[in-house]
Structure 1
Amino acid sequence: MTTEKNNTGMRVLTILLAVLLVVAGIMVVKLYNQEKETKAQLEKEKEIVLKDLNEMVVQYDEVIEENNLVNSDLNEARERVKILIDSVEVMKADIAVLRRYQGQVNKLNKQLEYLFAQNDSLRGTNSLLAMRVTETKEELDQTNAAKDSLATKAEELETVIAKEARLSVVSLKSNAVIERRSGRLVENDNASRVDLIRTCYTIPTNRLAEPGDKVLYVQVKDPKGIIMGANQTVTVDGEQITYSKISRFYYENKPLDVCENVKNTRGDFLEGKYTVNVFNGNELLSTTEFVLD
């Protein structure tokens, strides 16, 4: 009767996990699309900055030509703007970088205001350029506000993706077995006859997870709550995990079945309920129970 209840519980748990995986997949796709939109918005803002800087160069050219200025501070200022344009053109759209260039543009704007104030012959033109500088600053301020919002969304997206990229466990099953001399394992629920606790689970497909060598921790507790097997403790992210056995495997982004055998190093097996947990670091991925008579 207990076995039938356990099997029913496992089927319900498997269905729930499958539904959660589907929902998580939909969320990941949605968040991935949001990330693409964020990158597109950053590229658009970069083009706005370049457009403003190029317009400033055109205005410098007009003023310098009208006043026949060959060697002047205005020429030097124009060259600095051109250098800034070259830097912005080759940069990768990034919130922090755009902010840095905003600071450089603001600094150039202050220098230009000073130069025009010192040149009486350019007062009329100075009014036009000062207006454009103000407009550019306002546009950059608006862009900065938009970038702050995008940065928050990007951080939230990174957090969700990092969480979804972690491995999960489904179809966790654990029972006691008798180990024959031939090595064959036979399931049995008689505490006086069994030799090992065998735990099997499946790592499902996760396209966001990095392939490679992975480590999970299997923890088996006897009816008294004593951890069987190795009974070793590791510290992960400041938290201690005591395990019965370490599961080591190579993950290739496709379903993988894993089984581990845990010995009883403390003597005979006790009658009662056994609890089995599987951890990824300090994160509990799955748990199950079984009973020995």
Structure 2
Amino acid sequence: LSVYASYADANRAPTPAELTCASPAAPCSLAQFFAGDPNLQQVVSHTIEAGLRGQSQPFEGATLSSEIAFFRSTLDNDIAFVNSPIQGRGFFENVGTTLRQGVDINLRLKTDRLLAWLGYSYIDATFQSGFTVSSPNNPAADANGNIQVQKGNHLPGIPANLIKLGTDYKLTEAWTIGGTGVAASGRFLFGDEANLTPKTPAYFVLSLHTSYQLTPNLQLFGLLQNAFNTTYYSFGTFSPTSSVFLAQAPGAANPRSYSPGAPIAGTVGLRLTF
């Protein structure tokens, strides 16, 4: 068993794309040219991490590796892309301090035939400064199309809970089967930095794979991604329902817009190594 801890300070300068689209008076849909927009402050991070690592033999012929890490990272002058009152446009701005803190847990079991792993992450990602931002398509916005972000509101797009797991098993010396899975809790939509509307749905996606070693240099493999054809969403925001006609959804009134994940897909191939 070993114990470790670290502390780090880091900074990053605003990118050219951020600097060329940083004016509320001149929002953009895509930063593609250089202009004299207001300067942005550099982002400064302060990160502390501590944890435990260990290895044991739960039974004969097996090795179990484990790690748990606690982290806390504060970003001063964090930069976010926020909406403009002008439809379809936005701009980058410093939004004060943000905080990301949580825990990572990883387990890995290995035997002669089996390899299995499990990872869990909890992250509490919050704004630590209040500000007002335009979100005209958010149904919870005020009469001016604004929302009030408070200290403690969660950052959009970041699930609080994330689980990744997988396994490989050797049926024979040449043939291996396995699978991987990802589970994530819901996340707040972009444009809802004030956390006024429901999160996206939680999801679990399972993928399967197999391989057969035909020769020392030639392998036949197969992949089945999203094996149960799970419907899930990796991103969410708000979109106008009246200014753009949607032939696929005439009369649409719900501004919540999701980006769907990839559906079921299969791949079979040969892998040649030298």
Q: Does the TM-score normalized on the shorter chain lie above 0.5?
A: no
Q: Which one has a larger percent strand, Structure 1 or Structure 2?
A: 2
> TM-score normalised to the size of structure 2?
0.26
Greater RCO, 1 or 2 (C-alpha within 8 Å, sep 6+): 1
> TM-score normalised to the size of structure 1?
0.25
Larger Cα Rg: Structure 1 or Structure 2? 1
